Chain A
Amino acid sequence: MILAALTPLLVLSLFALPAKAQTASPSAKLKLPPYQKTKLPNGLTILLMEKHNLPLVSFSMDVKSGSTSDPAGQEGTASLAAALLRKGTKTRSAEQFSNDLDFIGGSFNAGASTDFTFISAEFMKKDLAKGLDLLSDPILNPTFPPDEFTKLVAQRKDGIRAAKDQAQGVLGTYFNAYLMGGHPYARPTNGDELSLAQITRDAVAKFYATYYKPGNAILSVVGDFDSAEMEKALATQFGGWANATVPAVQLSAATPAQGKRLLLVDKPDSTQTYFRIGNLGIARTSPDRVYVNVVNTLFGGRFTSMINSALRIQSGLTYGANSVFDERKAAGPFFINTYTRNATTEKAMDMALEVLKQFHEKGITEDQLISAKSYLKGQYPLRIETSDQLASQLTDLEFYGLDAKEIDDFYPKVDAMTMADARRVIDRYYPLDNLVFVIIGKASEIGPVVKKYAPNMDTRSISEPGYWPASGAH
């Protein structure tokens, strides 16, 4: 049987891993394993990296258009297009595709972010030929059947209602909408109750026809295969994909919020207050990215960070508090994120603001800088451990116009960072007086408390469709 034949392979790979004589330490070198980059004549960029420790092959594709390409008022189009790829092709119904995929234990996922559409798939080595067909068929031959479209839109509308039953899951969507205002990043990637009603099956098919072109796509493959054979197989599978020019994405940088603004979303059953405080952060390609990572590790990026120490470890006000730079093609949001029970809302918010103020005043110590560097370097290898992680890393690097140097230079860049760099990063990237607050909680209880944080308080009910009207969206 196939299974019996495979088991020894596994044993071999698990127990006979080559013992490298490396002096591994956070200060040792870290290099991205070798990979090759090619381009098919139709413009599809291909990145291949062999990794033979397990009999799996992982695929990661980006189509370089995401929800920022959604037509105004039809937020969710890119996301629906991605989700419908597998719901019917020229030769397979949705059901047939799922049957074929599941039978070999394969995976296929597709979705949209603001800047790109992502497709990932994974198959066992023994099923590679079938896997390549199951990967390419939905990408090249989707038919967007009307009944599948109708079904999915109905599910998405209900899905938003279910999501709004959990404050934590929708807090980010409200925050981005309220923070980013007229910028495309303000618009909900998965759409909302109103925009989903405006999207037609033909609009989704049009999105696909316009943006899914090989010259607008990147495909990375990492795993247990031979590169030369894989290159040939991909040429066969994707060579016939016709190219065409894709409308360029016009994405200007958003303007940081000035002054203080506050949105309170009423969820009358809530026993906790969920809040984000922040402003605009950095782009993925910011030259200061590594420094920002180091500094944010100390401010809100790990368990002993200043924010978590104050709100969780020392006061027990919350189960967790952190701060995040959401890095995108253009500058994305920066925010402090936590929750606390209704009665301690003011205490927690005051404390978060105080930690931010102290951070600006006192900065960090030499010891803290050393600790953060060690932490980031010690944890980094876990991000490039598996074939699927590596495949999505390769696609990411290519999408942002970066290469292996980004990873190979990570340790040296961290090592070279000085206290002066840290001070500059704090001053430049952490807001102090210009802050946007988004709060989900029981308005009748916390409304009188939180209104002090901004000159004006905007309010809405969580039951109200949408998140926050982006300009031109509705």
Chain B
Amino acid sequence: MKTTTLKNGMKVLVQEDHSIPNVALYIFYRIGSRNERPGTTGISHFFEHMMFNGAKKYGPGQFDKTMEAAGGTNNAYTSYDVTVYQDWFPRTALETIFDLEADRIENLAFDPAMIKSERGVVASERRSSVDNSNFGILDEQLWAAAFEAHPYHWPVIGWMVDIENWKMEDLRHHFQMGYSPSNATMVVVGDVTSDEIFKLAQKYIEPIPSHDPPPPVTTQEPPQLGEHRIAVKKFAQLPLLMIGYHVPQSTSPDYYALDVLETILFSGQSSRMYSRIVDKDQLALSVRGGQQFALDPTLFTITSQPKAGVDPANVEKAIYDELDKVKTAGITDHELEKARNVLLANFYREMKTINGRANAIGSYEVYFGDYHKLFEAADAYQKVTKEDVQRAARTYFTENNRTVGTLIPDKSATQAGGQKSGGQ
């Protein structure tokens, strides 16, 4: 790994790998839905779309057209915390990619016609991923109920009414707030040399001036004082159950213990939850759970699809029963060793592709403050003890700390999610 920081503050990380003639270039902006406010929720995600819709040198449609003609392709994702732009291309396209990225970072266009059309695209995305998805709608409602003060309350894609009502000035404000080079980290993995990447970054990115980063998110979620419970009634053939527990941000020392616990509870058919709930008791078709990278305290979620005719309450009871077992009796040496093996194997799997590596390197740099933590993760898991895992379970998996959501099939409900999001 070679790194440099440009004069405008953007950090550039490079890992050379010449096994295929391709390159993965990721740019992580430290801006996501946690930086938004009521009324403009989802604007980070909308902005992610706008970044493909034309700048100064490359007009509407030219970004994708130029990149694809050079043999490249791209995507992007937005989370609560970050907006990430991903380019995958043959090394011959290197200079083109830098030219494209620099153009949109510095000179994004705000064309009203483009904004109107893209609003429709995002509304369609929301209809698919939330309104017409049992998982999507329940997940959205669960987070909204678990977080009352902190911005993790609203969905990354935004409420439908907000998607329909952003103004041009909201977009300009958002661009100015989030898209300073100093607020971004670039990761390049693949068939390159660090020297050529640093030179290209100096030529194309360094001249772009920086400005103030987004103001810090000061809101903290106050401690939860009792269980939260929500129901979603929707036309569906099967119910769905989701439980969320508040857990700390990724930089917390408990992060690794919770990851080990997640592996023991949910990874593979021998995991405690699968073997109890899907296999032995046959209460559900699936059960999965875990935490995600987060800059602020987040949720450890558990999702289960009950079988037909099974009351979700019975699934819920079995889940608590398994959590209680960890709290009272802890985990075994065998389970701890298994979890370490699984996490190591998963790490190697993530390292298989230049894309996986670019994403992992950038994620650790952003969420843990240092990409070295990626390569130290195996050691960190090694240091987790049985007692750490039991203590984490006792600390976080409590009744007062949880939010429970149930999707209840209702043949008379014909507007899926429409009531809440009011979007039709």
Q: Which residues in B have their C-beta under 8 angstroms from that of A22?
A: 18, 21, 191
Chain A residues within an 8 Å CB radius of B351: 10, 14, 54
Report if B295 contacts A (CB, 8 A).
no
Given the interface pairs A17-B18, A272-B128, the reply to whether A101 lies near B68 with Cβ below 8 Å is no
Which range contains the number of A residues in contact with the other chain?
A: 35 or more
- Whole-angstrom CA separation of A103 from B340 in the bound complex: 9
Are the C-beta atoms of A385 and B20 separated by less than 8 Å?
yes
> A194 CB to closest chain B CB, in angstroms?
16
Query: Given the interface contacts A3-B378, A303-B68, does A164 sit within 8 Å of B128 by beta carbon?
Result: no
Q: Which of B1-55 contact A (CB under 8 A)?
A: 1, 15-22
Query: Is B399's CB within 8 Å of the partner chain A?
Result: no
B209 at the interface (CB under 8 A from A): no
> Interface-forming stretch among B102-110, B131-139, B170-178, B241-249?
B131-139
- Verify B341–A105 contact, CB threshold 8 A: yes
Are B132 and A271 in contact, with the CB atoms below 8 A? Answer: yes
A271 touching B308, Cβ below 8 Å: no
Residues of B81-97 whose CB lies within 8 A of A? 88-93
Interface contact A271-B418, CB-CB below 8 Å: yes
Asked if A102 and B307 make an inter-chain contact with CB atoms under 8 angstroms apart, the answer reads no
Docked CA distance A92–B305 (Å): 28
Asked if A165 and B238 make an inter-chain contact with CB atoms under 8 angstroms apart, the answer reads yes
Q: Contact mask A158-182 → B, CB, 8 Å, 1/0?
A: 1101101111100000000000000
Q: Which residues of A contact B343 (CB under 8 A)?
A: 105
A-B contact pairs, 20 of them (CB 8 A): A19-B18, A24-B22, A24-B90, A24-B92, A25-B90, A98-B268, A98-B275, A158-B238, A268-B414, A269-B415, A271-B415, A316-B121, A375-B69, A378-B89, A381-B22, A381-B90, A382-B22, A382-B355, A384-B20, A385-B352
List the 9 shortest-distance A-B pairs measured between CB atoms, nearest first. A378-B71, A24-B21, A316-B120, A105-B345, A269-B235, A102-B268, A98-B270, A25-B92, A316-B117
The answer for the CA separation of A271 and B134 in the assembled complex, in Å, is 13
Task: Please give the distance in Å from A124's CB to the nearest CB on chain B.
Answer: 5
- Given the complex of chains A and B, what is the CA–CA distance between A463 and B411 in angstroms? 11
Distance (whole angstroms) from the CB of A398 to the closest CB of chain B: 23
- B356 — nearest CB in chain A belongs to which residue? A386
B411 → A minimal CB distance (Å): 9
Known contacts A3-B344, A25-B21, A304-B64; decide if A162 and B73 are in contact (CB<8 Å). Answer: no
User: Is B90 a contact partner of A272 (Cβ separation < 8 A)?
Assistant: no
Given contacts A4-B382, A106-B345, A302-B73, contact A341 B124 (CB under 8 A): yes
Distance of A270 from chain B, by nearest CB (Å): 6
Decide if A315 is an interface residue (CB 8 Å cutoff): yes
User: B424 on the interface (CB 8 Å rule)?
Assistant: yes
- Establish whether residues A378 and B348, one from each chain, have CB atoms under 8 Å apart when the complex forms: no
State whether the Cβ of B391 lies closer than 8 Å to any Cβ in chain A: no
Q: Is the CB of B88 within 8 A of A269?
A: no
> A residues within 8 Å of B by Cβ?
1, 3-4, 6-7, 10-11, 14-15, 17-20, 22, 24-26, 28, 30, 53-56, 94-95, 98-99, 101-106, 122, 124, 151, 154-155, 157-159, 161-162, 164-168, 268-272, 302-304, 309, 312-319, 339-341, 370-371, 374-375, 377-379, 381-382, 384-388, 442, 463
> In chain B, residues 124-168, which have Cβ atoms closer than 8 Å to a Cβ of chain A?
124-125, 127-128, 131-134
- Whether A18 contacts B18 by the Cβ 8 Å rule is yes
A13 to chain B, nearest CB (A): 9
In the complex, B269 has a CB within 8 A of chain A: yes
Indicate if the CB atoms of B72 and A378 lie closer than 8 Å: yes
Q: Is the CB of A166 within 8 A of B127?
A: no
A161–B235 CA distance with the chains assembled, in angstroms: 12
A374 contacts B416, C-beta separation under 8 Å: no
Distance (Å) between the CB of B122 and the closest chain A CB? 8
Inside 8 A of B354's CB, which chain A residues have their CB?
Answer: 385
Q: A155-B278, A384-B20 are in contact. List 12 more A-B contacts (CB 8 A).
A: A3-B340, A7-B379, A11-B375, A18-B18, A26-B92, A95-B275, A99-B270, A102-B269, A151-B279, A164-B237, A166-B133, A379-B71
B15 & A14 in contact (Cβ 8 Å cutoff): yes
Q: Which of A6, A14, A166, A302 contacts B134 (CB 8 A)?
A: A166
Residue of A nearest to B376 (CB): A7
Q: Which of B21, B122, B125, B270 lies in contact with A101, CB distance below 8 A?
A: B270
| Given contact pairs A303-B73, A375-B69, A387-B352, A270 touches B132 in the complex (Cβ within 8 A) | yes
A14 to B15, CA, bound (A): 9
| Contact for B348 among A20, A124, A157, A341, CB less than 8 A | A124
Bound-complex Cα distance A18 to B191 (A): 11
Q: Does B321 contact A (CB under 8 A)?
A: no
**B349, CB-defined interface residue at 8 Å:** yes
In the assembled complex, the CB of B14 is this many whole angstroms from the nearest CB of chain A, namely 12
- CB <8 Å contact, A158 and B285: yes
Q: A-facing mask of B404-424, CB < 8 A → 1, else 0?
A: 000000000111111000001
Residues on B with beta carbons closer than 8 Å to the beta carbon of A167: 132
Residues from chain A with a CB closer than 8 A to the CB of B116 are 316
Given the contacts A14-B351, A159-B285, A340 and B124 also touching, CB distance less than 8 Å: yes
Per-residue CB contact flags for chain B residues 326-353 toward chain A (1 = under 8 Å, else 0) read 0000000010011011111110110111
CB distance from A391 to the nearest CB of B (A): 12
CB-based contact B90/A378 at 8 Å: yes
Q: Is the CB of A381 within 8 A of B282?
A: no
Q: Any chain A CB within 8 A of the CB of B251? A: no
CB atoms of A103 and B338 under 8 A apart: yes
A95, B270: Cβ atoms closer than 8 Å:
yes
